[in-house]
Chain A
Amino acid sequence: MSKSGFKKNNFDLFYELVRTDFVMRYHNSALGFVWVLLKPFLLYLIIMAVFSWLFGNHDPNYQLNLLLGLLLYNYFSESTLRGVTSLYDRSSVILKVNFPKSVAVYTSVVNSLISFLAGFVVFLIFWVWTKPLDSLVGLGYFGLQVLILSGLILGLNFFTGIIYTRLKDFLSVWEVLLQVIFWSTPIVYPASILPPAIRSLSLLNPLTIIVNQSRTAIVSGGDYHWNLTAYAAGITLILLAAGRRFFSVQVKKIAENF
């Protein structure tokens, strides 16, 4: 059956959807894109003020680690939340045109990635200021962690985007789960305060690995744990494959859920 010739213009569709999301996000706001940088900066200041006071003396790099952890977590939380509503938000289009719906899911990740990269610029400014390591040679390893995280998000979004069209409660469920994930990942507190048993258990969570390895790469220094990275990448690949499959089967029925 004809797919309306979409293969040729998938990228253009993707580009326009990303662009629309981006423009819509900052339209009618006086500062516009400045918010992309300002928001992580201000959030960082608030949380730093509170948590430096609580945990600051455990780790000389606590503040920079906190900022990096928050950046990674915010990327995860923002893009998965967008992922939940990615298909539902386009229901008016899905009901009228048979376009490649996976593009809507990809779009949900990209705009959050742009915010993440903007926040990372803020991070780099603080990095140069405090200079925790001699060089940024770990950027490559860090990039790998971000890639794994992006794959993890995409895999999740393939599931959640479809689930939300069936069950509107899912958004609330996901918001609660995000809180659970936030507090069970060593972001605001150092992993060292966890009892050893729980600490090794927390390594089952790929997000913990990604945050820890990112910190090792560009803040704290130390040995890379390639085995943990491989585990996180493995989980991500399984999730991506399963998500893609679930999506391609379920998406055929999706117009009937609206």
Chain B
Amino acid sequence: MIAVKLDHISKTFALPTQKQDSLRERFINLKFRQNYKKLSALTDINLEVAKGEWLGVIGANGSGKSTLLKIIAGIYEPDQGEVRVKGQLVPFLELGVGFNPDLSARDNIFLNGVILGMSRKTINRKFKSIVDFAGIQPFINQKLKNFSSGMQMRLGFSIAMQTQADTYLLDEVLAVGDYEFQQKAKRVFRSMKQSGKTVIFVSHDLVNVRRWCDRVIWLDHGQIRSSGRPAEVIKQYTA
């Protein structure tokens, strides 16, 4: 069964050559049309991810990895082609999306949770596990800005792990927290793998890519340069 299918996906961004956001600047430069440079982020990508498969995406900076995830997540619309996602999908392109530093940890759990698609009822039910997993019980009513950045990320991760989706998009989330937390994260990943979740995993951490993924694709200048077993693709990439 196919969980995610990308059919001839292309995406081009029109980047202004000089950022001119205001009319005044355009007046001063005596032009009203901005100059754009076309940047081809993805070209004719065809990809199928099977249900329960863990797909690693590797490639140099600017090769189109994040754009690919954002297109699958529906954040960007492709210029051409079609994306099909079966079942529920939750993107973790960043942990703690929507976190507000001036709100308490409690309020932020609800805010981030609903942004990730959970209902308030579900969050209430999972509240204790979220707090326990993040290990922030004593600080639950403190403002988030008083948390260390590591603690904030841990909280974000704990909330994210409570979402019930069929497919997850992960962008470099393993690089979070201290050793103990990473061990916890590994346990979560293991159970996700056992319960047959589909994961698309973008990372520069080749050790973890090799460890977790069933298949790896190598993106190069917006195209799939190679696809196959993790060890082989990583070998080509690092050669």
> A-side interface residues toward B, CB under 8 Å?
1-6, 8-9, 12-13, 15-17, 19-20, 23-24, 27-28, 90, 92-99, 167-169, 252-253, 255-256
Residues on the B chain within 8 Å of A27, using CB: 102
| B176 close to chain A: CB less than 8 A | no
Chain B hits for A13, CB < 8 A:
114-115
User: Judging by beta carbons under 8 Å apart, are A96 and B88 in contact?
Assistant: no
Chain B residues within 8 Å of A169, by CB: 22-24
The stretch of B71-79, B182-190, B211-219, B221-229 in contact with A is B71-79
Q: In chain A, what residue has the closest Cβ to B69?
A: A96
Cβ–Cβ < 8 Å partners of A95 in chain B: 70, 75, 93
Nearest to A23 among chain B residues (CB) is B103
A98-B77 in contact (CB<8A): no
Give the chain A neighbours of B85 by CB distance below 8 A: 1-2
Q: Using Cβ atoms and an 8 Å threshold, which residues of chain A touch B89?
A: 2, 4
Residues B84 and A4 in contact, CB atoms below 8 Å apart: no
Tell me whether A98 and B91 are in contact (CB under 8 A).
yes
Tell whether, in the assembled complex, residue A255 and residue B75 are in contact, meaning their CB atoms are under 8 Å apart. Answer: yes
Q: Are the CB atoms of A97 and B84 closer together than 8 Å?
A: no
* Residues of the B chain whose Cβ atoms lie less than 8 Å from the Cβ of A15: 114, 120
A82 to B37, CA, bound (A): 33
- Nearest chain-A residue to B143 (Cβ)? A27
Within the assembled complex, what's the spacing in Å between the Cα atoms of A15 and B119? 11
Q: Which of A12, A24, A90, A94 contacts B102 (CB 8 A)?
A: A24
Selected from A4, A8, A96, A99, the residue in CB contact (under 8 A) with B93 is: A96
Please tell me which one of the listed residues B73, B76, B120 contacts residue A97 in the complex, with CB atoms under 8 A apart.
B73
Chain B nearest CB, measured from A9 CB (Å): 4
**Contact of B102 with A98 in the complex, beta carbons under 8 Å:** no
The reply to whether the CB of B87 lies closer than 8 angstroms to some CB of chain A is yes
Which residues from 111 to 141 on chain B have a C-beta closer than 8 Å to any C-beta of chain A? Answer: 111, 114-120
Across-interface contacts of A17 in B (CB, < 8 A): 111
Given A1-B83, A255-B76, also A16-B117 (CB < 8 A): no
Chain B 92-116 interface mask (CB, 8 Å, partner A; 1/0): 0110011010110001001100111
